[in-house]
Structure 1
Amino acid sequence: MATHPRIPPRRGARATSWWGKAWVRAVEEAAYDEPELKAARTLSRSGRIGAVTVDPGRFVASVEEGDDVLTVTGEVPVLDSDQQAAFVEAVAAESGRIGALVTGDLPHPLVEHAEEAGVELLPYGGELATRCSCEPWADPCHHALAVMYQLAWLVEGDPFVLLALRGIERDDLLARLHATAPSPARRGSDAEVLADARDRARRLLELLDDPDADLAALL
């Protein structure tokens, strides 16, 4: 569980990263109509949304409106065990991917790689389920939409927020990646194989320049 502090009032804040925009697109797909979205955008920038708590598959926040304090809860489907394993493999496939996540980036090739393995990381509108204590006639209400707009900023600033919502906690991902890393002995073995391959390639180039050389000796 992680609680993200209240975001102070801000003007015209829009998602700028590709994954932040994808989250916003999902929020807007979930909305009933444009007036609800307009009210939600205004509310999201007002500073009247309290701390947002994120758990695997769930988020919750309070929203102030007039004299009322409302509670918004939401759900996002978590990845199953096979999907989580496939995502870990996708991260481990390239050495720079975990570094990118840690520094606040979500590489598009990583998400594409995960999708090819059957892992949809970014939700679509129909996956965003919400409830609000205002008891709206249509879900999501503008309070819930406002909270989800703020989640877009949190997800954009730290992709691990998105991963946590999908059921992959930061420490768990790092532990899994550590578990899949080659052992020191294996790394040494791989290094020896690589060095031998380099020596063979260099020797082969030398032999190709020598018309009398016996290439079979190297094969």
Structure 2
Amino acid sequence: EKGKIAKTFWGKAWCENLESYCDYENRLPRGRTYVRNGSVIDLQIAPGVISALVSGSALYRVTITVKQVEQVAWKTLKNECAGRVGSLIDLLQGKLSPQVMEIITRRETGLFPKPSEIGLDCSCPDWAGMCKHIAATLYGVGARLDESPELLFALRGADHLELVTAATESVTAGVSAPRDSFATLNGENLEEIFGIEIEPRPSSKPAIPRKNTSQRKRLG
């Protein structure tokens, strides 16, 4: 859609959630032009922190801290998603259902942070609680989630693989389904579900050197 900062469900939901809070609704519009003009530079999203350089009359550094999700809240989210059998059928078909996505992005109880969980700081001389550089950075996160939705989970300190694991365990424990359908829910399937690339986890077992086959004795 022309003029939209975010294009996919994840990015749009992030922006809409921010705009739904009265603390932000009058301040966010100042950042839209900045992010559309490409003024947000070097946007980084890590567990508990968002950082960026924003080009204005000078180059300003923005740092946004985000409280990581409480373990109790994360467990509740996982349980709620796992209890929806219909949504897990979609999950096994290679996509997250609207029900699961709604749970994850729900205001107040989902993974999106509330204003009280967000700390804002900018090196610019504007002493407003949210300057246009901070607003632009927050919108920039929405655009980034279009490409990498797993960053939402990383930002809040939640492992998205746990969500899929909980969903799978719930179904295998309480619903009759072909065992093979769950066995195929591997890393490649998860990449399709979330639209992301998952790095292989390093093996905890020490590497075993391969024998030199050139020195094997010939049989017979």
TM-score range relative to shorter protein: 0.5 to 0.7
Q: Distance in 1 between matches of 2:163 and 2:81?
A: 9
Aligned to 1:12: 3
Deviation, structure 1 residue 88: 2.7
Deviation, structure 1 residue 146: 0.2
Q: Distance in 2 between matches of 1:75 and 1:172?
A: 24
Deviation, structure 1 residue 166: 1.9
TM-score (norm 2): 0.59
Select the residue among 138, 141, 152 that pairs with 2:142: 152
Residues 109/141 of structure 1: CA separation in 2 closer, same or farther (3 Å cut): same
Residues 45/143 of structure 1: CA separation in 2 closer, same or farther (3 Å cut): same
TM-score (norm 1): 0.59
Residue 169 in structure 1 maps to residue 159 in structure 2 = yes
The share of aligned pairs that are identical, in percent, is 26
Residue 50 in structure 1 maps to residue 45 in structure 2 = no
SS in 2 for 1:131: strand
Residues 122/108 of structure 1: CA separation in 2 closer, same or farther (3 Å cut): farther
- Corresponding pairs, count: 169
Q: Distance in 1 between matches of 2:14 and 2:105?
A: 16
Aligned to 2:95: 100
Select the residue among 31, 34, 39 that pairs with 1:40: 31
Residues 43/114 of structure 1: CA separation in 2 closer, same or farther (3 Å cut): closer
Residues 132/115 of structure 1: CA separation in 2 closer, same or farther (3 Å cut): closer
SS in 2 for 1:54: strand
Deviation, structure 1 residue 144: 0.4
SS in 2 for 1:100: coil
Where does structure 2 lack aligned partners over 5 or more consecutive residues?
Answer: 179-220
Deviation, structure 1 residue 24: 1.9
Aligned to 1:23: 14
1:91–1:110 CA contact under 8 A, matched in 2: yes
Deviation, structure 1 residue 72: 0.6
Decide which structure has the larger Cα Rg and report it. 1
CA distances 1:48-92 after superposition (whole Å, capped 9, x unpaired):
2112211222211111223x2211111223211122222233444
Q: Distance in 2 between matches of 1:85 and 1:133?
A: 37
Select the residue among 61, 68, 74 that pairs with 1:71: 61
CA distances 1:156-207 after superposition (whole Å, capped 9, x unpaired):
4433222222221345656x54994788xx89xx569xxxxxxxxxxxxxxx
2:7–2:143 CA contact under 8 A, matched in 1: no
Residue 138 in structure 1 maps to residue 128 in structure 2 = yes
Q: Distance in 2 between matches of 1:40 and 1:155?
A: 17
* Cα RMSD after superposing both structures: 3.6
Aligned to 1:84: 74
Where does structure 1 lack aligned partners over 5 or more consecutive residues?
Answer: 1-10, 102-106, 193-219
Residues 31/86 of structure 1: CA separation in 2 closer, same or farther (3 Å cut): closer
Deviation, structure 1 residue 147: 0.6
Q: Distance in 2 between matches of 1:97 and 1:138?
A: 44
Q: Distance in 1 between matches of 2:105 and 2:143?
A: 23
Residues 140/108 of structure 1: CA separation in 2 closer, same or farther (3 Å cut): farther
CA distances 1:113-165 after superposition (whole Å, capped 9, x unpaired):
5699x842233444433110114311111000001111111224433222222
